[in-house]
Structure 1
Amino acid sequence: MRTGMPVTAVFDIGKTNKKLLVFDEYYNVVREQVIRFDEIEDDEGFPCEDLEALGRWVQEQFGLLKKDPGLQLKAVNFSTYGASVVYLDKDGLPVGYLYNYLKPYPAELQNAFEQERGDAAAFSVATCTPLMGHLNAGMQLYWMKKKKQDLLQKVAHVLHFPQYLSYLLTGKMMTEMTHLGCHSGMWDFRKNRYHTWLAEEGLIEMLAPITPGSHAVNVKNEGTGELIAIGAGLHDSSAAVIPYLQRFPDPFMILSTGTWSISLNPFNQTLPNATELSKGSLSYLSDTGLPVKASMLFAGNDHDLQVKRIAAYFNSSPGFYQSVMPDRELFEGLLSGLPAAGISEEVAAITSATTPARFRSRDLQQYRNASEAYHQLVADIVTQQKTSSAMVLGDGGPRQLFVDGGFCKNELYMQLLSAAFPQMKVCAATMVQGTALGAALALHHHWNRKPLAAALVQLMHYSG
């Protein structure tokens, strides 16, 4: 038996960066590889993932890990971005392309889908997601049937993206809960089963058996004879929740920030109503198949656009905001405008997940400098975030709010957010490779008998 370091590996696949992370038994990263692949064009000339190059890389790296004399590979898992499916023929080979979820969706096709369903609002309530074209994996299947009939005739199986990568190593076809429950438009949350439209369209036979996110298939290392647990793979946002659940027993809400700010309450299984859905609320499925109420806000994108406007107006460098620290006088003045202090419905209103903050319509002439304008921008974003997050807090709500991603490093944002949620302990959370760590932890019980370290997630408390 090999005496190398016992490790687990995760292939963490983002839109831009593809990572291979190797963790030891204490979940320290002992090896990391980052690679990018040039996009190719699909059959209509739209950019898409080079699935062949990616699959070849995954298989090559898996082979190298198995042969490495310094490692004892115990488990492998995957995390990928959502809203992506792979079509396979009867021999298990890809058909067509991994079509990009950003690809424009034919308006007439979405209208036809809504008319066939009879009540678009009721459909969204059942599937806990608005209809968003290719951002719904199910709508991709519908598009394939209606627009790519020649290709569809060759399709025997449909796998979600991470399950395809798992299939490359195991030969087993699975449908994992978190991708199925990621605004796919395929799952009826209220009946806890596939929505009937998939059977009506003759598509359900192509889907693989459903499995929880903790499931693994054992494959043999040809060189050593040892078994390696290969996970089914997870949706990236859902994987990122797992370290928090492992670390903190008391209820909490996560605010994951980046281009999108996503509020997740793993302890709220309430399903969103039609009004909440229209304002950016939805439900995910956890790796155990339970609903997780969430809300989305395009806050990071809004922030970046308005920072550019401020920088241009005040002739400041594009990165001026990175050195802006909370000004106590300005800070105190802004507190009166936060929701916790009584904000008007007009200011806090959100009509959709992409509704920009009020700052977009503010006249920059009223500010003395870029710092003052930036204080107002962040206050407006936090005001809107309060309204978005309120949809997922639930009755009684958790008393802890963990913020990760870009905004958790923004001192002004964190202090204003803490003031907006005075009933909660607001903390900036940091962890090493959170998405990959979550995917690794999902398979912990398959190979690792050591207790989890308390330092997996580190917190910094803020008070407004």
Structure 2
Amino acid sequence: MIDVTAVFDIGKTNKKFFLFDKDYKEVYKEYIHFDEIEDEDGHPTENLKALQEWLKRVFENILEASEFNVKAINFSTYGASFVHLDENGEALTPLYNYTKPLDENLVASFLEKYGPKETFLNKIGCYDLSMLNSGMQLYWLKHTKPEIFSKIKYSLHLPQYLSYIFTGIPLSEFTSIGCHTALWDYEKKDYHEWVYKEGINNILPTIVSTETSINMNYNGKRIKIGVGIHDSSAALLPYVRSIKKKFVLVSTGTWSITLNPFTEHPISENSKNVDSINYMRINGKPVKATRLFLGNEYKVQVSKLDKHFGVPEDYHRHVKFDYDTYLEITKDFEYMFKWESISDSNMPQQTKFPYIKFEHAYHQLMTELVLLQIKSIKSAIGEDEIKRLYVDGGFSGNDLFVKLLSHYFRDKKLRTTDASLGSALGAAICISDSKLNSKFLKKNYALKKHVPFIIT
């Protein structure tokens, strides 16, 4: 039997289950997708009951499997989500979706009490107030559904709820509290005063280290059960544990999130940037982050290019960086793309297509997107002395993106990694006692070094 660590990695779309051996190699995986259900207002939400049943079923099946010996289990999930439990440990409400609209009058009344807005947002490390801030969900429940709020014994962040399913022990931990919840005062390093004034602290369980695990007898087996971790913080952990020098991680996908875990200048000095937010490391230290709707905008614009030039949908995947094409574009450079989902002062009133070939237009698109990405990275770095950039996710395999980023950041060392298991692997590492060395990323993440192209 192989000794393994089990991890449930719960995304908004796909729910995944992994087993990792002692060297963090994936030895088993299982995926599932649930259709969303609706809350009482008809807003789409997670099917919590189906998720809970699946977790139990999968785990019990694995415990019975003859080839695996499960030593530990942990949970990585998306943030901004609470499960509210009554005194019997039953969920009182649906798992409200963070996309659910929040009454503007409620937000206004909140800021009247605890504002002014800019000062408040600086302290809590958020760029705005909405259901994306799970603390606001508690305020909303208290003031619009007092009969339900009065029955809440504990409100658990989603990673901790999954742990609770297996342990029955309600807990809180830093990474979930620190992910744009509006609950935490980054200056005070404690819950914000509004949490105490509203009595919200009474339903938030004891805070423990994210590395905490509970040794339990589960179905006759002795297993170490983790308290769960927020997925962005989990994805960052393997880098923090294996890289000795300061770095910034650019995690690309639909959203491109730049994470600076070594910040000495938290968000309070950067309040003008609405795409600046704070996350939290497992030890409670702030992670300064900026976000850019990069993958979404790329998809929208590539689709337009496909139609304009009459090329197949996957044509862009085969375009490689061409130095001469890049020189032509940058000789008398001007901005040509009007973004659909990004706001930028440099963009024109409408998109221009002066090029005859798709390749030229694609080089123009990628140059403009990389310039946006650079702004986002510089904002996350701020005044901090950081010379290393790591890029993972969808764009780490885009030849133009990587070469252009390397070119514009000639003063930094650029590395790409293939971190498809990022948050799941982070959750496994979090509850492990083993140390990671500098070769970990090369071995497990297909680490590649990139040198800027030569300018002639």
Decide: shared fold, TM above 0.5.
yes
The answer for the alignment partner of 1:228 in structure 2 is 223
Task: Please tell me the residue identity of whatever aligns with 1:285.
Answer: M
The answer for the alignment partner of 1:97 in structure 2 is 94
CA distance in 1, matches of 2:277, 2:94: 28
Check conservation: 2:242, 2:437, Cα contact below 8 A. no
The answer for the alignment partner of 1:8 in structure 2 is 5
CA distance in 1, matches of 2:77, 2:331: 41
The answer for the alignment partner of 1:355 in structure 2 is 343
Check conservation: 2:263, 2:381, Cα contact below 8 A. yes
Task: Please tell me the residue identity of whatever aligns with 2:289.
Answer: A
Moved more, 147-156 or 408-417: 147-156
Cα displacement string for residues 1-46 of structure 1 (whole angstroms, at most 9, x for unaligned residues): xxx2110000000011100000111111111000011111101111
Counterpart selection for 1:414 from 389, 402, 405: 402
Check conservation: 2:134, 2:182, Cα contact below 8 A. yes
Counterpart selection for 2:152 from 141, 147, 155: 155
Does residue 388 of the first structure (1) align with residue 385 of the second (2)?
A: no
Q: Aligned ranges for residues 274-289 of structure 1 at < 5 Å?
A: 275-276=270-271, 278-289=273-284
Counterpart secondary structure, 2:72? strand
Check conservation: 2:241, 2:436, Cα contact below 8 A. no
The answer for the alignment partner of 1:367 in structure 2 is 355
Counterpart selection for 1:316 from 311, 315, 321: 311
Q: For the structure 1 residues 233 and 412, does the alpha-carbon distance in structure 2 shift closer, same or farther, using more than 3 Å as the test?
A: same
The answer for the alignment partner of 1:78 in structure 2 is 75
Counterpart secondary structure, 2:257? strand
Counterpart secondary structure, 2:353? helix
Cα displacement string for residues 191-235 of structure 1 (whole angstroms, at most 9, x for unaligned residues): 0000011122221100011112111111114334xx211111111
Q: Aligned ranges for residues 136-285 of structure 1 at < 5 Å?
A: 136-224=133-221, 227-273=222-268, 275-276=270-271, 278-285=273-280
CA distance in 2, matches of 1:279, 1:158: 28
Check conservation: 2:329, 2:360, Cα contact below 8 A. no
The answer for the alignment partner of 2:444 in structure 1 is 456
Q: For the structure 1 residues 152 and 450, does the alpha-carbon distance in structure 2 shift closer, same or farther, using more than 3 Å as the test?
A: closer
Q: For the structure 1 residues 159 and 65, does the alpha-carbon distance in structure 2 shift closer, same or farther, using more than 3 Å as the test?
A: same
Q: 1:253, CA displacement in angstroms?
A: 0.8
CA distance in 1, matches of 2:399, 2:38: 41
Check conservation: 2:174, 2:284, Cα contact below 8 A. yes
Q: 1:419, CA displacement in angstroms?
A: 1.0
Task: Please tell me the residue identity of whatever aligns with 1:251.
Answer: K
Task: Please tell me the residue identity of whatever aligns with 1:320.
Answer: Y
Check conservation: 1:276, 1:391, Cα contact below 8 A. no
Q: For the structure 1 residues 458 and 337, does the alpha-carbon distance in structure 2 shift closer, same or farther, using more than 3 Å as the test?
A: farther
Q: 1:451, CA displacement in angstroms?
A: 7.6
TM-score, normalised by the number of residues in structure 2: 0.92
CA distance in 2, matches of 1:451, 1:119: 46
Moved more, 65-74 or 79-88: 65-74
CA distance in 2, matches of 1:295, 1:302: 16
Cα displacement string for residues 328-380 of structure 1 (whole angstroms, at most 9, x for unaligned residues): 21223456789xxxx9xx99xx9xx9425856745333122222111111111
The answer for the alignment partner of 1:292 in structure 2 is 287
Identity of aligned residues (%): 37
Counterpart selection for 1:379 from 350, 364, 367: 367
Q: 1:147, CA displacement in angstroms?
A: 2.1
Gap regions ≥5 residues in structure 2: none
Check conservation: 1:302, 1:357, Cα contact below 8 A. no
Counterpart secondary structure, 2:298? helix
Counterpart secondary structure, 2:267? coil
Check conservation: 1:299, 1:356, Cα contact below 8 A. no
Q: For the structure 1 residues 403 and 450, does the alpha-carbon distance in structure 2 shift closer, same or farther, using more than 3 Å as the test?
A: closer
Check conservation: 1:12, 1:20, Cα contact below 8 A. yes
CA distance in 2, matches of 1:361, 1:406: 29
Counterpart secondary structure, 1:426? strand
Q: 1:449, CA displacement in angstroms?
A: 8.4
The answer for the alignment partner of 2:41 in structure 1 is 44
Counterpart secondary structure, 1:102? coil
Q: 1:186, CA displacement in angstroms?
A: 0.4
Q: For the structure 1 residues 277 and 51, does the alpha-carbon distance in structure 2 shift closer, same or farther, using more than 3 Å as the test?
A: farther
Q: For the structure 1 residues 272 and 170, does the alpha-carbon distance in structure 2 shift closer, same or farther, using more than 3 Å as the test?
A: same
Check conservation: 1:6, 1:24, Cα contact below 8 A. yes
Check conservation: 1:358, 1:380, Cα contact below 8 A. no
CA distance in 2, matches of 1:419, 1:269: 27
Does residue 332 of the first structure (1) align with residue 327 of the second (2)?
A: yes
Q: 1:121, CA displacement in angstroms?
A: 0.5
The answer for the alignment partner of 2:390 in structure 1 is 402
Aligned residues: 448
Moved more, 58-67 or 419-428: 58-67
CA distance in 1, matches of 2:266, 2:410: 26
CA distance in 2, matches of 1:266, 1:8: 26
TM-score, normalised by the number of residues in structure 1: 0.91
Q: 1:300, CA displacement in angstroms?
A: 1.4
Cα displacement string for residues 63-112 of structure 1 (whole angstroms, at most 9, x for unaligned residues): 22222232211100000011001000011110111000111222222222
Check conservation: 2:25, 2:444, Cα contact below 8 A. no
